[in-house]
Amino acid sequence: MGRRRHAAAVLPALLLAAVLTGPPGAAAEEFLFHSIRATLLVADPEAAGERLAAWAEAVGGYPLLTSHNRVLLRFPAAEIPGLRDLLASSAEELAEFSSEARDLREEILGLEAGMRSREEILAKNLTYLDRADVTGTLAIEREVMQLLEEIEALKGRLRRLSNDRRLAMAEIYLNFLEQALPEDIPSSFSWINRVDFYRYMEGDFLR
The confidence score (pLDDT) of residue 23 equals 46
Tens of pLDDT, residue by residue over 58-83, are 999 999 999 989 999 999 999 999 99
Would you say 18 and 121 are in contact if contact means Cβ atoms under 8 Å apart? no
Domain count across the chain? 1
pLDDT at 125: 84
Higher pLDDT among residues 8 and 30, named by residue = 30
| DSSP 8-class letter at 78 | G
Q: Residue 125 falls within a domain, yes or no? A: yes
Q: Domain for residue 141, yes or no?
A: yes
State residue 204's pLDDT score. 52
Q: Is residue 66 part of a domain?
A: yes
> Is residue 201 assigned to a domain?
no
- pLDDT digits over 196-206, tens only? 655 655 555 44
Residue 191 falls inside a structural domain: no
Whole-number pLDDT of residue 32: 94
pLDDT at 185 over 90: no
CA atoms in the 13 A half-sphere facing the CB of 18: 27
Q: What is the pTM of this model?
A: 0.62
Dihedral of the alpha carbons of 66, 69, 75, 79, in degrees to the nearest 10: 140
Whether 199 is in a domain gets the answer: no
Q: Which domain holds residue 102?
A: 1-22+31-179
Q: Is 94 helix (H, G, I), strand (E, B) or coil?
A: strand
Task: Please indicate, yes or no, if residue 148 is contained in any of the structural domains.
Answer: yes
In a domain, 200, yes or no: no
